[in-house]
Amino acid sequence: MTDTQTPLSAPLAELTTLRLGGPAREIVRCPDTRSIVETIQELDERSEPVLVIGGGSNLVIGDAGFDGTAVVLASSRIEFGSGRESGRSHVVADAGVGWDDLVAATVEAGFGGLECLSGIPGAAGATPVQNVGAYGVEVADILRSVQVLDRRSGNLRWVSPTELGLGYRTSNLKHRNDFVVVAVSFWLNEDRASQPIRYRELATTVGVEPGDRVDAAAARAAVLGLRRGKGMVLDADDFDTWSAGSFFTNPIVDGGDAPAVLERIAARVGADVAIPSYPAGPQPNTSDADAPTAIKLSAGWLIERAGFGRGYPSADAPVRLSTKHTLALTNRGSATTEQLLTLAREVRDGVLDAFGVTLRPEPVFVNCAL
């Protein structure tokens, strides 16, 4: 790197699955952990703003770009082992490993555990940050440990899942930049046994009862098929996949508020319409064991019932809801980030007006806001 750099000349859009966003001052690709540490430390020493990018699948970058240096995690190590502390098999992967590449590698090596998270775009290092989840499995269910760079001390250390505050699509690594994930480790199942198939749609597809286990390769193939049908597997030729995945998280409603919220929804959609809702389990900062159970609602269902159907607003719009999945906001090839945010605000505000439920975005925003 040099001290003299052309301001904002390095395109970032190509590093995101949305293919949106302005340029950075410079882009540095780091092929291993050592180069990640050295590059970030050098940039920090000269007070250069740093944007760390893995797979770019959960990133919304503003049209003005990023006034600093983007550090791309391009590390690629995958190692299998058996820990002395438990005897269980596990895998260690660099943060830059493509997530689905890691899932495929574990299945090919004869293990299970990660298969229900097949097809999720992005890099392995981002998965604990978001506590990524799909088809009845979350990263929290299988995470062994995370290696982070502490930018304040310059040290590398492994942290356990109990230190990460893992919750629904969040952790205490999210929305902070003093820790950078450089490697992750996951527990694996022997004999290519899947995680219990809890998600009914997946159980039906593989022909088992919810809670059963199957061969991980069969579960992976089924998950990939289901995700492709929803436009949730990256395909350069399919604009429905030019997205950040699910743009909004499923809203969680406090147990005490749930009856009124469900009543309002029923008044809008009709009392005879079944409202998808699920127990959300104990919530952070809730100490009252007798408090009513919080519920989780389907964001996609609410969006559609609020009047935003698949493909909204029109076939010629530069940004549309996916034609396959109302939770994905998609770039149809010529959009701007501001156009994406405008549609996101319209959907968010429409759901709030219709049902009194606030949708929260899942992606990380850089130099822009919802």
The residues that are catalytic are 169, 246, 362
**Which residues neighbour 178 within 8 Å (Cβ) at sequence distance 6 or greater?**
150, 151, 152
Residue 134: C-alpha distances to residues 33, 58, 120, 219, 349 (Å): 28, 15, 9, 12, 26
CA distance 154 to 75: 19
Sign of the four-CA dihedral 58, 62, 64, 66: negative
Maximum separation of any 2 CA atoms in the chain, in Å = 66
AA identity, residue 362: E
Going by C-beta distance under 8 Å and a sequence separation of 6 or more, which residues neighbour residue 41? Answer: 151, 154
